[in-house]
Amino acid sequence: MRSLVAFLLGLILGGLGMLFLPDPRRDELNAEVRKQTEALQTQVHQFGDQLKTLTLPKPEEKASPSPTSSPAQ
């Protein structure tokens, strides 16, 4: 619940800040956020491509289905 309130408060403060910031500074912030968003999108696409080519090892027939623990000494 606190995180939701903090998120909403951040949105409200961010919106108010954008209303009262001078236009050049607002444009700088928009450009910076756009660069960061594009970089994040590129990383997400690369991660998706890695997941597409990922091959999981097949379980062996003789392997036990659950890990066994060694007895404590």
Q: For the residues 11-17, what does the mean pLDDT come to?
A: 82
Tell me which amino acid residue 57 is: P
Token duo for residue 71: 């007895």
What pLDDT, on a 0 to 100 scale, did the predictor assign at position 64? 58
Q: Which DSSP string corresponds to 25-38?
A: HHHHHHHHHHHHHH
The pLDDT score that the predictor gives to residue 16 is: 81
Q: Are 18 and 26 in contact (CB under 8 A)?
A: yes
Is the pLDDT at 25 greater than 90, yes or no?
no
- Work out the pLDDT band at 39, boundaries 50, 70, 90: very high
Q: Is the pTM of this model over 0.95?
A: no
